[in-house]
Amino acid sequence: MTRNGPDVDLWRHHLAHVPDSVWERLDVETLVLADNDLVEVSERISRLQRLRMLDLGHNRLTAIPDGVGELRSLDFLYLHDNQLGALPTSLSNLARLRYLNLGDNLFETLPEAVSGMFGLVELHADHNQLTSLPDWIGELRALRELHLRGNRLATVPESLGRLRTLRQLDLRANPLGHLPDSIASLPRLDKLDLRWVPKFGWPEWFTELEARGCLV
């Protein structure tokens, strides 16, 4: 563990639980608890009000404490490779969060809490069990990258066309049967990844995207 400065790194320490001393580090800005055997995280995490980066990836978590939603300074939140199927609604308070990784979990729907994360620039929800996306995803107007590889999506909503800053849309390995025409109007899209997607008669606007420099 780093004992001086704003970082605490407990990556791959084979922890059964987080040491109580961590919750006393009120100055910490980066907290890495990845790749342990954690099954829970204390609500005392809400004490760490200066936290900007929290990495809980590669654990065995089935729930995230409500207290994470009180960490209003968070910029980066890693929750990938756990056993999560839901997020507490309190996380909708993380309006300044820029990066969220929900990959390799058990989500069947994108959690409602994400709808309040208006500062998101990157959203990763790869390798879950998503069968659809909510219309409100079009309200995440700061998104530049949306990663949805390896889900169960047959289509995506028209509201994606409101993501005017979106640059990368990763839909690899989904059983897509349709894409909305609104994607063609995304002015900054430079990569639409459809590898390992069954060909369903690509729309004519694919040619338009490629003509303006988008890699399809």
Q: How far apart are CA 126 and CA 107, in angstroms?
A: 10
In the chain, where the domains are located: 7-211
What CATH class does 7-211 carry?
Answer: alpha beta
Does position 25 have pLDDT exceeding 50, yes or no?
yes
What is the predicted pLDDT for the residue at 119? Answer: 98
Provide the token pair at 46: 């809400």
Q: How far apart are CA 89 and CA 161, in angstroms?
A: 26
- Do 211 and 188 form a contact (C-beta atoms < 8 A)? no
Reported as a single tens digit per residue, the pLDDT across 134-174 is: 999 999 999 999 999 999 999 999 999 999 999 999 999 99
Reported as a single tens digit per residue, the pLDDT across 159-215 is: 999 999 999 999 999 999 999 999 999 999 999 999 999 888 889 999 999 999 999
Measured at the CA of 82, the angle between CA 156 and CA 25, to 5 degrees, comes to: 115
The structure tokens 């025409």 sit at 181
Eight-class DSSP state of 26: T
- Do 158 and 183 form a contact (C-beta atoms < 8 A)? no
What is the percent of the chain where pLDDT is above 90?
A: 93
What is the predicted pLDDT for the residue at 5? Answer: 60
Q: How far apart are CA 192 and CA 179, in angstroms?
A: 11
Does position 133 have pLDDT exceeding 70, yes or no?
yes
Strand 30-32 to 53-55 pairing? parallel
Measured at the CA of 205, the angle between CA 201 and CA 208, to 5 degrees, comes to: 135
Q: How far apart are CA 35 and CA 209, in angstroms?
A: 40
Provide the token pair at 43: 């609500």
Provide the token pair at 93: 């308070």
Q: 87: part of which helix (H) or strand (E)?
A: none
Reported as a single tens digit per residue, the pLDDT across 53-96 is: 999 999 999 999 999 999 999 999 999 999 999 999 999 999 99
